[in-house]
Structure 1
Amino acid sequence: MRDHLIKHIVLLLLGLTVSANIARGQCRQVLPGDLGCGTIMDFDGFDEYYKGLQLWPPSSGCTTRIGAKVGNPSHMADCESNTYGYINPGLLGASVGFDGGCNMNLKAFRNDGQKFPAGKTVHLDVGSEWANVNASFSGFYIQLFDGDRLVLDQPITRALLLDLGLFGDRRIMAVLPTAEWDRIEIGYYETIGIGFTLANELKIYNILSEYYPAAGYMDATFTSQPRNLEVTEGESGNFSAALDFPGEAPDDLQYRWQVNTGDQWTDLEDGGYYSGTKTTSLELSGVSPELNGYRYRLIAESGNKAGCFYKESDAAGLKVNEIAVIPGKCDVVLPGDLGCGTIMDFDGFDDYYKGIVLWPPWEASTGCTTRLGSKVGNPSHMADCESDTYGYINPGLLGASVGLSGGGCKMDLKAFRRGEQKFPAGKTVYLDVGSQWANVNVSFSGFYIQLFDGDRVVLDQPITRALLLDLGFYGDRRIMAVTPAAEWNRIEIGYYETIGLGFTLANEIKIYNILSDYYPAVENVAFDPQPQDLEVTEGDSGNFSAELIFPAGVMSDLRYRWQVNTGDEWTDLENGSYYSGVKTTSLELSGISSELNGYRYRLIARSKGGECLDIASDPAVLRIGAGIRNCIISNAMIRPELD
């Protein structure tokens, strides 16, 4: 433990030493044309040197060089890419000097003790114009110093007797110091020379600590582009892309997803349907039809200076297929352990029963000839928003029935849509039904469910059916399911009896609710997997995730929410600061601070405002990696502050 602690202290002190002594870049710069971009070095002092014309003694200066000048050293390291420091040796003339001759330079340095590192390439953005003809010992140079100690001496141009140099366009030069340094000098010297220069001016535009050539990043390509996505409303999906750099990638590369809803592109933020908006994979959840036709693309760019690097992916479209159903009318929570569901939205109701007809028998064929107490009613209660109201069908008490055609005793409840809207094929319909006690009938009879598309029967399914002898015991309230093979717009729940004799005792079927979605009681719903404890280092990223398992279908209005417990109570999280994805099954944490150490997190799943489902995952703990956060140095003592 002690060795571990000492190791941390040594590493920390080394880190403090490095961070204290190494100067950093001050701004990102985009260079013109195809030069690329880079980071301007952060100097805090600048100077220039040129003594000017001096005829005697000839030991220093440019004795007869006309127009020599030097200036603007601070422009070598400002945050404007096209300003520059300059060195101009002068026009036609001659120079002679026995102690450096004509010597002029620009300087940039640190005054605060910070140094630039050894082994880190320095890039100079330089340019010059046209030609010069000189018979001389002369040249431009770069020198790096650590205090007064020369660290690097590298020529830019050098002439021995004859210089026919054509410096040409703006370009990048690189020097690599082998030791730390704190001052750079770019200069010109001439010991003995005669000739002329034509616009022979060296311009130093930028001194760079980081440099990314155009060939290194502008040739970056998306090796995989976002693909068009087709989902059904309520589902999830994602767009993704991958970017490849043939050279070095910008050190501050950032991503952001954009959406185009019609005429322009706008940046996305985590929240609502979206998460991962600042990554290469955009996640969409609970997709709504309102997103249909939206287009998405990924932007990759350098973060410190917009435009240093910028690349757009291809755009991909989102197609959202609406569920071809009439929206549910309302949600209901069913009593006991039945569960919950969504009431179907009908706009018409009816019931049918002709009543007792004794004679003639051809008329009796549409009624119940001697069945006593037959009744049917309240069809609208099958689809109101009260879970315990119902429509009912009661075949009657003791008696007999006979019918020669038309189904004998027949009665039903109807619910339908009047317009052109239809309920979809293949979508299960759930009936919340109940009945009481027993009946004994010698009959051809039964309860049934029928679905129609106009007058065409789409589905005919019995609830009960008796051939000669019915000793049915219907029992408690329960859920029945039917699945139509075709679209439909009318449902009928009814009773028929062709020939029968017997009695019923409270033989009444009750239709409480007709449901488009149904979710059984949630006793068997569980999180698997549960969130796991997370241990990270301060500043890192991480996530908690969980998955909810349903024995039956997933609830259409299921909502997730992550909560945090910082001490005594649970509170809902919001996107922002450290968190994103707070309303999904995966909570993302970034730039984690030590202040979050020990916080607990859990996922809540709710439906129908928590009435139908309200379940919490197990909590998981966030731990910031054990070790030293800070070292307090006082009176030559090092006191570690432990996590």
Structure 2
Amino acid sequence: MASNTTGYQWQVDQGAGYTNISNGAPYSGATTATLTITGATARMNGYIYRVIASGLATPDAASNGATLTVNSPPSIIAQPSSSTIAAGGNTTFSVLASNTTGYQWQVDQGAGYTNISNGAPYSGATTATLTITGATARMNGYIYRVIASGLATPDAASNGATLTVNSPPSIIAQPSSSTIAAGGNTTFSVLASNTTGYQWQVDQGAGYTNISNGAPYSGATTATLTITGATARMNGYIYRVIASGLATPDAASNGATLTVNSPPSIIAQPSSSTIAAGGNTTFSVLASNTTGYQWQVDQGAGYTNISNGAPYSGATTATLKITGATAGMNGYIYRVIASGLATPYAVSNGAALTVNSPPTVTGVTNGGSYNVDKTIMFNKGTATLNGSAFISGSTVSAEGYYTLVVTDAAGNSTAVSFIIDKTAPVVSGVTNGGLYNVNKTITFNEGTATLNGS
């Protein structure tokens, strides 16, 4: 308020000294007691205004300067950045803003933004930096932003920044053990979550070591390990996979065992056997990698399977037993088929059965009685007659009781007992050509008799 005035002139100092103001946006009333500013801009912040009051006398009166403060609304200068951490980890979201007097962080869990209050896992919810301590897996995908407020409106909302919480890898489906034949192929597979890579390992008996691609392995760093052409030496190897991800610890699967079945193999062949007719024997085999046996016999027309039943037992075991072999079985050939979990089956060598028959004696029969000289022959072996050596083809002439024993090289023997009796029986009570008028009692000293044919 001024006295003794006849006029006013408002001036502005924009930083380089005062200059007169003319009416025109944003100014009006530039030559009145009241300067009106309409639609002040942010650049006018800090301008200093004064008025020069003039009158009928000099000097003119200059008022004190009055500063114009123009508050701009908040503005985000640097947006918060998305963050990726492991479950249980810590992170921060920060913003750089101007013209602010306060901050309010918000989170969108999937249903829209809501204000965050301080309290685990959050701190700094009303500052320029939001701190998250011990993030959980369920927070994965949460979106964070800040509302920056100031002395002027509108408030400034930052862009959303996504929190990625990486959980450690987890095995969902374990690899299964596998059984194959030598030379066969197989795979070991795993199903895992939160993975970025795989490394298959093998334990050959001294602990797990990493597998590299190269025969017999492929897919060593994938979810499926392929084995092509497994060898017998790989039997019992144990396989597992290490699944890695963006978070630790890595996940190790259970071990899965590889069983490689080798085909059967004959270690010890059956041996041929020689026995006497009626005797017993066995044929045995020693084999590896077997689950079963089948004995076969070749009777002269090729091999056929043997079933248990006289004279055979143990037809499907490692030892075939023959009980009471007959002479007709002489020359039979026996072999075994050893089966296993892998092919081909193993076939043993053939083993011959020799059944020795006892010597055959001709010229006399056991229990025979003869009244003439007898020439005796036998087909094999050596003989004794009543304990003395006897040569085949020799003739026995003397009367007497004889026992011939013939023994062959296998120990088979034939015994024949016989009698040489050249003396006619003696008849008593009657004489040849005699006539009798009384009853006669007739006796004879040996043999049998007929009277008139009866």
TM > 0.5 fold call:
no
Larger radius of gyration: 2
More relative contact order, 1 or 2 (CA 8 Å, 6+ apart): 1
TM-score when normalising by structure 2: 0.34
Q: Quick check: which one's helix share is greater?
A: 1
TM-score when normalising by structure 1: 0.26
